[in-house]
Amino acid sequence: MDKAAHRQAQVWLAFFCFIEASFFPIPPHPLLGLMCLAEPRKALRFGIVATLSSVAGGMLGYAIGWGLYGSIGEWLIATLGYAEIFPAAQCRFAQLGPWAVFIGGATPVPFKLMTLTAGFMEMALVPFILASLAGRGLVFVVVGVLFRVFGTPIKAFIERYLGLVTTVFALLVVAGFLVITQLRGGDDDQAVDESCAAAVPLDRETR
């Protein structure tokens, strides 16, 4: 909490949000949460900084996927452990377009995987930026707004019941995924899932 309130914390938040969107494996959400807890009155500012920095980092990921895939992008995807799921990500991206970027920005789906794939698939830059702003903003700015409005009571409650809050949050995330999975059920969705599961990597000629 003391480090999160440090005068350089905002710089570190921007830095980690930037690199996480393109190649860094650890998400910046815990740092943002601690900073909002430490200084609830600045929570909205922190959320905006996180959003803009993440989108800027996403553009770096896009550039790597677009122009440096053979020299850097392929190695990066393998290093991050995404080599096996990259063909499925390409398939999903071809089907969903900007929605894939939005989903990657707003859910636990790795955002960096979507930014690299967007560049590789040569997605139009403006829709990519707009989808990134919407997805990342939904996560970061909403957190900032909640802490700004309810900051002091939330801070006191979480400091007292941190273990309970963490457990409940984890259970809610798991429950949410289960509900979404059930709601998405259907023959068409199953066919789409199976087609993407069997996808093979695209190359520059076939993407």
Task: Measure Cα distances from 97 to 15, 74, 102, 186 in Å.
Answer: 27, 21, 9, 21
Going by pLDDT thresholds of 50, 70 and 90, the confidence category of residue 36 is confident
**107-137 tens-digit pLDDT:** 777 788 888 888 888 888 999 999 999 888 8
pTM: 0.72
**49-58 tens-digit pLDDT:** 999 999 999 9
- Residue 20's φ and ψ, nearest 5 degrees, are -65, -30
- The reported pLDDT for the residue numbered 189 is 43
- The reported pLDDT for the residue numbered 96 is 79
Mean pLDDT of 143-157: 73
Question: What residues contact residue 22 under an 8 Å CB cut-off, 6+ apart?
Answer: 57, 58, 60, 61, 64, 112, 115, 116
